[in-house]
Structure 1
């Protein structure tokens, strides 16, 4: 059975975008949709909002988990940064199997290594130049259409 994220998939998938920059969030969602993704989008504006969504007292993710989810995670955010969000997601058995794609402007090799050590699945550097950023998101969209998800990703 096909379990990709694209329109041919027999699976409903949510993309959980954890991104504090409104402009980047809009560009990411718009260009993933242009690449053919019709998935549900959940936008969380910073690390604290993300931790509340996954682990808070009224955590929507635990109460009503989507069937499958992919997390797009920025690192540089106010309140709680993406590294701490990644660490917490991978340390909790309810969220450890969720695929996490780090999508950030940082290309520091030490930070890339740290993300992989913490359990990120893919690390993508956001190009600073507008057209290159759009192209990177478009390519990410094509990748997300063919990627396979673990059974039960989404807290089930």
Structure 2
């Protein structure tokens, strides 16, 4: 089975490192692109700026951190869902927040899933690996 591309958007270098370790365990590391801000995520998706030469096509899923400076995950989610070229991309929100208002806002804005980042290292690795395997290997997605 061939893994599809995943875009991980997170401003926390520690969380990115842990997520990449989880993807490595799931043999998905080569399928992951990383954006460190909301602005960079949109540049990646639109193939502009430093991502102008990226491979064509969209990722099969975007794993999007909710709490980021400048442009938070909700703003990125809104921008993606408002763009007809990007709107069909599934978005999985990742957050430490269990606040009902955060969860509700994300689903109302078009998130496909909302996952609370586990505090425990092992649980975080397992959660990210499970998300990656589901979206990159098991889930059938629409063709670009």
User: Where on the TM-score scale, by shorter chain, does this alignment land: which range?
Assistant: 0.7 to 0.9
Partner of 1:148: 140
User: Could you tell which deviates more after superposition, 27-36 or 84-93?
Assistant: 27-36
Equivalents in 2 of 1:31, 1:63: separation in Å?
A: 23
Q: Which runs of 4+ in 1 moved over 6 A?
A: none
User: Could you tell which deviates more after superposition, 74-83 or 135-144?
Assistant: 135-144
Alignment counterpart, residue 63 of structure 2, candidates 68, 72, 75: 72
* CA contact 1:36–1:141 (8 Å) conserved in 2: no
Q: Does 2:43 align with 1:47?
A: no
Equivalents in 2 of 1:30, 1:74: separation in Å?
A: 17
Q: Does 2:88 align with 1:108?
A: no
User: In structure 2, do the counterparts of structure 1 residues 109 and 67 end up closer, same or farther at CA, with 3 Å as the change threshold?
Assistant: closer
Alignment counterpart, residue 25 of structure 2, candidates 10, 18, 34: 34
Equivalents in 1 of 2:142, 2:53: separation in Å?
A: 18
User: Could you tell which deviates more after superposition, 141-150 or 13-22?
Assistant: 141-150
* RMSD over equivalenced CA pairs, Å: 2.3
Equivalents in 1 of 2:13, 2:54: separation in Å?
A: 27
* CA contact 2:47–2:53 (8 Å) conserved in 1: no
Q: Where does structure 1 lack aligned partners over 5 or more consecutive residues? A: 1-7
User: In structure 2, do the counterparts of structure 1 residues 63 and 28 end up closer, same or farther at CA, with 3 Å as the change threshold?
Assistant: closer
CA deviations on 1:23-81 (whole Å, 9 max, x unpaired) are: 11111122122123254221110112223333486484798533643111001111110
User: Could you tell which deviates more after superposition, 105-114 or 76-85?
Assistant: 105-114
Alignment counterpart, residue 16 of structure 1, candidates 7, 19, 23: 7
* CA contact 2:38–2:76 (8 Å) conserved in 1: yes
When the two structures are aligned, how many residues end up with a matched partner? 143
Q: Where does structure 2 lack aligned partners over 5 or more consecutive residues? A: none
TM-score by length of structure 2 reads: 0.85
More helix by share: 2
TM-score by length of structure 1 reads: 0.79
